[in-house]
Amino acid sequence: MLTSRFAPSPTGRLHLGHAFSAVFAHQSARSPGGRFLLRIEDLDQTRSRPEFVDAIEEDLRWLGLEWDGEPVVQSSRSGAYSQALEKLKAMGLAYPCFCTRSDIAAALSAPHGPPGSLYPGTCRGLPDDAKRRASTAHSWRLDSTKAIERAGLPGWTEQDGRRFTAVAAEIDDEILARKDAPASYHLACVVDDAASGVTLVVRGIDLRASTPVQRLLQDILGLPEPFYLHHPLVVHEDGRRLAKRDLAPTLQALRQSGVDGAELARNLAGGALPSGFRLAEA
């Protein structure tokens, strides 16, 4: 059955951009009689707060968006993520990485691009003794070169039927898990989408860069391939992105100013945004 999901991180109040994404995901599944799921992506324990989980549910109800079943909460799913990580290790496609964030930032100083955007490969192919130190690793990374050799370059299909094939440069040796987190966003996302039977991943065009590596992980782990719908982003009229720290466009603020949630959801579904905002493709 067509199944979509909305997967917010409880690190702040939802804003208009989240509402647009949730409405889109809800509509894409429910209009043809499918399921709409809610997933709480709370693996970043330093930034996630239980009160924001309640706020997400409150905001979605205000918009009139009901989800099917209980929300999936990522912090309770470590076992499933560890299993997937062990599988990748056993296939020789994950390696321990001892680099700290600042090591990586230093290795990536200009002219290679913005710090932190790509992993320079420092720990890839370390000699065997590194394996003994694996328990002190900061993180585990995907060996993207070996993974592509094994599974081929991944492709994906947008809901409108357009087929894309990734290029190798779009796929980094992404972090799969960290010392302090059982899974990275990418690993948790593919494990959970598969476990929940998600067949349509609806998310903003800003997350389009995550799709190649997630499709590769699905191919390697033998998980089903969903369709994708990367929607435009809600931005301020002057082009500024909406940020969680912006107080004005939170759904809570709109509710408190007397906006009707169901009407807002209907307008968003028709692509009509409140004044002061517009859609942007990137």
CB 165 within 8 A of CB 215: no
DSSP, collapsed to helix, strand or coil, labels residue 184 as coil
Q: Closest distance between ligand GLU and the C-beta of residue 115, in Å?
A: 21
* Residue closer to ligand GLU (CB basis): 41 or 173: 41
Q: Closest distance between ligand GLU and the C-beta of residue 21, in Å?
A: 8
Figure out which of the listed residues 2, 4, 8, 74 binds ligand GLU, where binding follows CB under 6 A: 8
Using alpha carbons only, what angle is made at residue 177 by residues 174 and 179, rounded to the nearest 5 degrees? 130
87 is known as an active-site residue: no
Q: Which stretch binds ligand GLU (CB under 6 A): 4-12, 58-66, 170-178, 262-270?
A: 4-12
Figure out which of the listed residues 13, 35, 77, 203 binds ligand GLU, where binding follows CB under 6 A: 203
**Calpha distance 89→55 (Å, rounded):** 38
199, two tokens: 């067949």
**Calpha distance 115→102 (Å, rounded):** 9
* Residue closer to ligand GLU (CB basis): 94 or 207: 207
**Calpha distance 279→282 (Å, rounded):** 9
Residue 202's nearest CA partner among 16, 53, 36, 9 is 36
Residues linked to residue 235 through DSSP beta bridges, in sequence order: 241, 278
Position 230 contacts ligand GLU (CB under 6 A): no
Position 7 contacts ligand GLU (CB under 6 A): yes
Position 154 contacts ligand GLU (CB under 6 A): no
* Residue closer to ligand GLU (CB basis): 189 or 251: 189
Which residues are annotated as catalytic? Answer: 244
Q: Which residues bind ligand GLU (CB under 6 A)?
A: 7-9, 41, 189, 203, 207
